[in-house]
Structure 1
């Protein structure tokens, strides 16, 4: 973690977080599906009598949940993530408005 913070700016990390929130986890594309299959298998093996079995789709995260946001909401989310990571807000401010 220390090396990551030394070699990457807050802005770059914030961009990767935003990208991952839209597209799903970084790395091999099918890991979420493979893990969902495993989770469904374990869940169904441990379910009680009379409980409905679950399929892999029940365990796949719902990516791109914020797709309905307008650009102002997305910008506010990105700025909040940037603040949490100790980054500087270098966006231009509209006349009469403070930073979000």
Structure 2
């Protein structure tokens, strides 16, 4: 699929121990994205999403302004990297 992109986002706020990664996984699967959501040691959640640009942008919008568990104070993202990392589904790490 030549139109696939990779988006990595770091979500700041009260986003650990509140079901945020599971919520993110559900939204990503609804959008048909592959990748994962992972807790980081500094309290952030890292989200890697691979799929169509429009779907990745929609997930990013949901991370920023959706009815998420916990509290999102900010989201920083980068685009790029290999979209073909062999992800199967959307994992919680």
TM-score by structure 2 length?
Answer: 0.26
More strand by share: 2
Higher relative contact order (CA 8 A, sep 6+): 2
TM-score w.r.t. structure 1 length?
A: 0.25
Richer in helix (by share): 1
**Rg (Cα) greater in structure:** 1
